[in-house]
A and B are shown apart, each in its own frame.
Chain A
Amino acid sequence: MPKQSFREWLETRLGWGQIVNFLQKKEVPRHKHTLWYYTGSAILIFLVIQIITGFMLLLYYKPTLEKAYQSVTQIMTEVSYGWVIRSLHHWSATLMIAFVFIHLLSLWILKAYRPPRELTWMSGVILLFLTLAFGFTGYLLPWDELSLAATKVGTEIPSTIPLIGRWVTQLLRGGADVTGDTLTRFFGLHVSILPLSLILVLGFHLYLIQKHGMSVPLREEKQNRPLPSYPFWPNFLLRESVFWLILLGSLITLSLFLPRGLGQPADLMAPAPVGVRPEWYFLFLFQTLKLFPATILGIPGDTIAILLVMVAVGLFFFLPLLDTDPAGRKGKVITWAAVAFIVYAVVMSLWSVL
């Protein structure tokens, strides 16, 4: 048998040379909007931190009515660095969701969903909703006053959907009301069903991004000249890793100086605490629901609001198919719709806090 190195031995069996080749040849287009390419990997960094800190919290957390609050207290007060790890999990979630929004809105405005990248966009919208579902289910797990109130409201909202509403609410709650069963159900979603779904959809999303390469903004594409580019390895990765370090530093600073607290234990019979509000990323929806009158033309206001939100979500998901003429008048309107959405979300969120 001819002598072969360990590297060759592995290569014959794994055939990973192709991937290495691909990464060595991968180029990242260089233009004045290159910065927005960093937002995707920022999400991945926070996702990795979520997975690691999530595994760690799982070692001590107990998902039952009797033990949930107590076990979080134990993590916060007895376990070495427990409060830091929990705070990191909270802040990394917050930053991850913030970057998911920045990522989607920037791609919307840059029209990165143009053919052949429609499915990349749609899988991205699914990832957005999975991320929000992570936030919603994770919020209940410490089982304090606020998390109980937020979950009662959040799981009641679908009940206003005609026909299937009540059924959706019962499915989410595991019964007619939010109880210990809801907690166990949300825990299962948060640590098993959602992570598996996320990994699958994310794998698909990343595959498509590698297959099609980075999208180039319309204006650059129209100029009909070859764009300058960076090699992915090492030039682009080096720039990205500087950005990652800044993010990591910000995350640790936030977690240490604004640590996540823990409220009073949840009491199923107590009145809702004053000033109950969802997390910041649901505030604009919260305020929208508050503004709707009780009835409009005999139809409950909540029903109309939720149907409008569902229509908006549908339009958002099918955006690549609607935007058939990106360079034309219709395309401009769709770009301005993104700006209008940002203004709406910011104004509504501020309104609900002030």
Chain B
Amino acid sequence: MKLKDSLFTRRKFLNTLIGGWLTALGATIIQPVIKFIFPPYREPEEVILPAADYELPGPNSFKTFPWGSKPGILKRNDDGSLTAFVAVCTHLDCNVTYLPEQRKFYCACHDGWYDENGINIAGPPPRPLRRLDVIVEGEKIIIRRKGESA
């Protein structure tokens, strides 16, 4: 049935109403389901390493540490300061290694290369390695996400 000046029929109006309501109901059910399926993001805020285990005597020496579920690399620079990287290639998530003789990071998956500062120099990597902040506090080495040091 359609009234003389109406834009749509009564059936169309009711169908839209019921359809819209069902869509809204469906959305309120789907939203938590999707939120549930994706696990909470679990990158650590900071990682504390005992300084005794990470002495790194000479320049250009390095050691790996666990950064959540990814490897990290802590490296002694020529000026004696420390730099930390997330040791994961920016290309396709492979773990990288540091080659001290060549002063380069190397990713074996697709032959990707980074210089000693983590800058991508050869192969497919699109971005430099991710850097982390390093703070030495007495017996502890605190490694934090970049820019979040208090």
B39 at the interface (CB under 8 A from A): yes
Give the contacting residue for A60; candidates B32, B33, B35, B39; CB below 8 A: B39
Q: How far is the CA of A82 from the CA of B38 in the complex (A)?
A: 11
Interface residues of A in 35-57 (CB under 8 A from B): 52, 56
Binds B, one of A73-81, A151-159, A181-189, A271-279: A73-81
Q: How many A-B residue pairs have CB under 8 A?
A: 24
Asked whether A80 lies within 8 Å of B40 as measured between CB atoms, the reply is yes
Which A residues are in CB contact (< 8 Å) with B37? Answer: 56, 59
- Nearest CB of chain A from residue B18's CB, rounded to whole Å: 11
Q: How far is the CA of A80 from the CA of B38 in the complex (A)?
A: 8
- Nearest CB of chain B from residue A51's CB, rounded to whole Å: 13
Q: How far is the CA of A182 from the CA of B124 in the complex (A)?
A: 50
Which A residues are in CB contact (< 8 Å) with B38? Answer: 80
- Nearest CB of chain A from residue B17's CB, rounded to whole Å: 15
Which B residues are in CB contact (< 8 Å) with A82? Answer: 36
Q: How far is the CA of A60 from the CA of B37 in the complex (A)?
A: 9
Q: How far is the CA of A84 from the CA of B40 in the complex (A)?
A: 16
Q: How far is the CA of A52 from the CA of B32 in the complex (A)?
A: 12
Interface residues of A in 75-102 (CB under 8 A from B): 78-82, 84-85
- Nearest CB of chain A from residue B30's CB, rounded to whole Å: 11
Q: How far is the CA of A82 from the CA of B35 in the complex (A)?
A: 9
Q: How far is the CA of A102 from the CA of B39 in the complex (A)?
A: 38
Interface residues of B in 26-78 (CB under 8 A from A): 32-33, 35-40
Interface residues of B in 2-40 (CB under 8 A from A): 32-33, 35-40
- Nearest CB of chain B from residue A86's CB, rounded to whole Å: 10
Which A residues are in CB contact (< 8 Å) with B36? Answer: 56, 59, 79-82, 85
Q: How far is the CA of A85 from the CA of B37 in the complex (A)?
A: 11
Give the contacting residue for B40; candidates A59, A78, A85; CB below 8 A: A78
Q: How far is the CA of A84 from the CA of B35 in the complex (A)?
A: 12
Q: How far is the CA of A187 from the CA of B36 in the complex (A)?
A: 21
- Nearest CB of chain A from residue B42's CB, rounded to whole Å: 8
Q: How far is the CA of A6 from the CA of B35 in the complex (A)?
A: 36
Which A-chain residue is minimally distant from B32 (CB atoms)?
A: A81
Give 19 new A-B contacts, CB below 8 A, not counting A78-B40, A80-B40: A52-B33, A56-B33, A56-B36, A56-B37, A59-B36, A59-B37, A60-B39, A78-B39, A79-B36, A79-B39, A80-B35, A80-B36, A80-B38, A81-B32, A81-B35, A82-B36, A84-B32, A85-B32, A85-B36
Could you show 13 A-B contacts with beta carbons less than 8 Å apart? A56-B33, A59-B37, A60-B39, A78-B40, A79-B36, A79-B40, A80-B32, A80-B40, A81-B36, A82-B36, A84-B32, A85-B32, A85-B36
Those 3 A-B pairs whose CB atoms lie nearest each other, nearest first: A80-B35, A81-B32, A81-B36
